[in-house]
Structure 1
């Protein structure tokens, strides 16, 4: 297995978890919050997808799928289109509602395709390229990709947990 295959496999696992988390749920189920401070499945999947979209687009020097492919308009959220959910308050989390499982899955799949297109060209040398100088030490592509994989898998797991709560209601 080479670098590109490893990364494609890792992102493929995120995709599987996203599909499992949203499949067959209604918009109401997706918006359910176990309490007023908790995140919903809709918010968790939207957020993990926005973060992956934002970070991969930046590293690849491409436009975000959310903005360039009209996903922001299709979702119609009362949020700034540039937002990824980072630092959202409980009130902002509550604004991610009225979206369908198909929308969440299809947006993730579009981001996943852009991600795969980018990582298919990755090799060991590419992982050392600095992609963010705002941090000390500077963030390399390898560190950024591992961070995105870690963050998205954590949020997908949280969405799966909330799904379990929804199914037991």
Structure 2
């Protein structure tokens, strides 16, 4: 077995930890109505953005590893969303996004925490040799595990930033 890339893995762990901390902060103190509030009829609400960033991370890390998806194992039922079990947010219509609703923001944080644990467990198992493994040959160049995990982190960071922006608008509306 190859030695682990401790610097690369440490950076990824730090990046995903920052996402976890940001998720808890962006949801903190928002009511269920605020988590579902949309800037306009086609915009994504804070809660949906948090669910989607967690769901895409969960789905892709579960696919890269031999670990079970928290969404499929437990959270698709616990969150009570009216989405199909395989839904991740990709390709959803504005109407489908508008159906988002959770009874408590702590459920979103709990789901993200479970996803974060999946990610950290997976990162513990990755070795130097794993990073160059092709995980999607349908692109030119083919997508390696390293490229995929960076895409997951980037997507999470972008959606967290969007959620933080919408939260800021919400907090200004409270005044």
Q: Same fold (TM over 0.5)?
A: yes
Map residues 80-119 of structure 1 onto 2, 5 A cutoff.
80-119=84-123
CA RMSD, aligned part only?
1.2
Which whole-Å deviations, capped at 9, do the CAs of 1:120-145 have from their partners, x for residues lacking one?
22233221111223333221110011
Map residues 151-166 of structure 1 onto 2, 5 A cutoff.
151-166=155-170
Tell me by how many angstroms 1:164 deviates: 0.5
CA 1:61–1:133 in 2, change beyond 3 Å: closer, same or farther? farther
For structure 1, the 5+ residue unaligned runs are none
Distance 2:128 2:103 in 1: 39
For structure 2, the 5+ residue unaligned runs are 1-5
Q: Is structure 2 residue 71 aligned with structure 1 residue 76?
A: no
Structure 2 contact 80–102 (Cα < 8 Å) conserved: no
Give the structure with higher Rg (CA). 2
Which whole-Å deviations, capped at 9, do the CAs of 1:87-113 have from their partners, x for residues lacking one?
111101011113421000010000000
Paired residue for 1:141?
145
Structure 1 contact 14–152 (Cα < 8 Å) conserved: yes
Aligned partner of residue 83 in structure 1, secondary structure? coil
TM-score by length of 2: 0.91
TM-score by length of 1: 0.95
Structure 1 contact 56–115 (Cα < 8 Å) conserved: yes
Paired residue for 1:34?
39
Distance 2:50 2:103 in 1: 11
